[in-house]
Structure 1
Amino acid sequence: MKTPAPEGTAALDVRGACARYQNADVLHGIDLTVEPGRVTALLGANGAGKTTFLRCVLGLMPVHRGEMTSGSVTVLGREVTRASAQRRIKAGLAIVPEGRRLFADLSIEQNLRIGASTRRDKEIGQDIEQLLERFPALQRPKIQAGYLSGGEQQMLAIGRALMARPKVLLLDEPSLGLAPLVVDSVFETIASLAQDGIGVLLVEQNAERALQASSHAVVLQAGKVVRSGASAELADDPVIQESYLGVAS
């Protein structure tokens, strides 16, 4: 299920994103680029605007009684700023939401098929087989998702997103509530997705792991970009170390 992007084209390019809820401005001119086959981390404290940014990228602001007031969203060179969420998925976006949000009463296979709801091709069954091979813990396709462990559910959530054959995968707090060994497995999966050519935007409270897993990082504070650059450089930045990595200055 490799999904390489056209050479020289950014997988995701967001320019000048501004957003508000009712009369409150919450994002102030955010620029962010995700390259094919690379992981970009989006960091910041709770309330910094990370989830709002993801909603802007996916076209979900109206669902949450907000709006993207200015800026542009481009996927693989195609501007989707005014497109519906469904059209953005067809253009190449997919998300693994915080908390996974699986259909607990449906089986593994049914959850995976929901991820392919925007597709009309005849290769859905083949993709399910490939995903079950990729995630051995899911090789019980008739089991209800609600009976899976937290780590298994996270893998199913990732698999469901992959069923859309995305060029850009948005991951919202993928390590939340998981045991350390399971977190290791999740980040190994993220690395393998990038190796497959998918551009990954990683929103993660565990800043240390996010910086280790990514090549580039953007730090938000109060809806503004306060740091941006190579992840290795940010990991060595004293301000980042004190504010996000728990290293005293």
Structure 2
Amino acid sequence: MLNLQAVNHFYGNQHSLWNVDLVLRPGECIGVLGREGMGKTTLVNCIAGHLPVASGRMTWHDIGAPPQDLTPLSAQSRSAIGIGYVPQDKRIFSQLSVEENLHIALAAGKTRG
């Protein structure tokens, strides 16, 4: 389970994420909606570990294990526990479908550790 509590992020002095709360339980799928520049990509980058959070709490909770604080973990460490991000950039694997790109990301996460 992914749990965000009052997560904030700043670009310099520009407040980009304001007290974001989110719970994503096993088997759930969510969509993050909003206009351009509203923080969707920033949120995903904070969750994946590509951007730091200024304040708040992010935890990952595997079934049967205690919650793990994500804040100190690198993007690579987060990938190893199953948190990944496939950017929108079409130059990554341009000849592959969205589904094929996601399978590659999943496979890469399983080989790390």
User: By the TM > 0.5 criterion, same fold?
Assistant: yes
2:44 to 54, 77, 87: 54
Map residues 156-235 of structure 1 onto 2, 5 A cutoff.
156-163=100-107, 164-165=109-110
The runs of 4+ residues in structure 1 deviating greater than 3 Å are none
- Is 1:72 matched with 2:62? no
Structure 2 counterpart of 1:136: none
For 2:26 and 2:80, how far apart are their aligned partners in 1?
17
Aligned-pair CA distance for 1:100: 4.6
For 1:83 and 1:101, how far apart are their aligned partners in 2?
27
Map residues 71-220 of structure 1 onto 2, 5 A cutoff.
71-76=56-61, 77-102=67-92, 145-146=93-94, 148=95, 152-163=96-107, 164-165=109-110
Tell me how many residue pairs correspond in the alignment: 104
Structure 1 counterpart of 2:14: 24
Which has the larger share of helix? 1
Counterpart residue type for residue 42 of structure 1: V
- Coordinate RMSD, CA, aligned: 1.6
**TM-score, with length taken from structure 2:** 0.82
Structure 1 counterpart of 2:64: none
| Structure 2 gap ranges (5+) | 62-66
SS in 1 for 2:102: helix
**TM-score, with length taken from structure 1:** 0.39
Bigger relative contact order (CA 8 A; separation at least 6): 1
Structure 2 counterpart of 1:186: none
